[in-house]
Structure formats: C-alpha cells, structure tokens
Amino acid sequence: MNIELKSDRVLSQSESLALERLSAEAFPPEEHDPQWARVDWHVLVWEGDEIVSHVEIVERTATVGGRPVRLGGIGGVATLKAFRRRGLAEAALKVAVDYMRQVLAVDFGLLICAETMLPYYGKFGWKLVARQMWIGQPQGRVLYDALIMVLPLCSLDWPAGGIDLCGPPW
C-alpha cells in the first residue's frame, strides 16, 4: 500500500478516470443529488498501480451561527469492494486529517455521512452536530437535509447555530 496526497489540479487523466470508477462503485447516483463542490485535494491509496481507496478534501470558510469558521471538508471516502475491511480508508482519513490540521490549519473537519456511518466516524472523534445546513446550488441557497459531523482541529469549540456552507457541499 502506498498513500499519496495530490492537488486536484495535478491529477493525471488516468487517475481522474480511476476516481470516477471508484466513486461510481461506492456512491450510486441519487435522483436528487446536489451539485457537489470542486475538490481541492485527494488522498489516494494505491495497491500496485491501482487506486483502491480515496478521500477528498475541500477547503472552505463557512458560517456557523453567522460566525466565519474555517473548514476542511471531507468527502468521497471510498474503497473498492475487493479491498474493503483492510483499514485503507482509515489510513487515508488519517492522512487527510493530519493535512487539514498541520498544513491547512483549519478550525474543524466537516463531513456529511449516512446514518449507518455515524459509528465508524465516531470512533475517530467525529461528532454529530446537525441534521441540516444551508448549501449553495445553481438555483440559490437551499436547505439540505443531511447528517453533519465535525472534528475539532484546533482549540475552538463548535459554535452554536445554523450552518451555511457558503457554497456547494462535498
């Protein structure tokens, strides 16, 4: 296993195609999927010459209770079925969290997850903070129902109040 963190801007065409395949296997499209944010960084887990697991990072300043909060958004956490239950996504998530804390110096990590994944992220210190938030979409600002978890990456406490991602979700 080899783990690499890359800017979205420098992905090769073959890496982009591999990520599309991984995403399609892990996340079948939903009829009412929102428009997603452009990814800033990718944590790629390689087995030989194949990308088998992946985590996306989006850097964003959002507001919580009207207050600006610097976020490192985690999305696209996925592993090919044949490689699951080996700790690959966990290793990629650790690299992503370390990068957000040490390099991006954001206040919190934020992710959207399915209810079945709450225990998984909870064991790494992520906390459920909301069940909806405002997101930016082509038609304007809309309320998005989702389970939102955060991970403190600094000494701040998560502020009270509604979340506005100030852009599309990840």
Buried b vs exposed e over 129-154: b needs ≥16 C-beta within 10 Å?
Answer: bbeebbbbeeeeeeebebbbbbbebe
Tell me the pLDDT of the chain (170 aa) as tens digits: 999 999 999 999 999 999 999 999 998 877 778 999 999 999 999 999 999 999 999 999 999 999 999 999 999 999 999 999 999 999 999 999 999 999 999 999 999 999 999 999 999 999 999 999 999 999 999 999 999 999 999 989 999 999 999 999 99
Which CATH number does the domain housing residue 49 bear? 3.40.630.30
Domain assignment present for 34: yes
Domain assignment present for 10: yes
Looking at residue 28, its pLDDT comes to 82
Domain assignment present for 169: no
Give the bridge partners for 60, in sequence order.
71
pTM as predicted? 0.94
Identify the CA nearest to 44 among candidates 85, 89, 105. Answer: 89
Looking at residue 29, its pLDDT comes to 77
Looking at residue 33, its pLDDT comes to 82
Domain that holds residue 158: 2-164
Total domains, the chain: 1
Domain assignment present for 170: no
Domain assignment present for 148: yes
Domain assignment present for 133: yes
Looking at residue 30, its pLDDT comes to 76
Domain assignment present for 98: yes
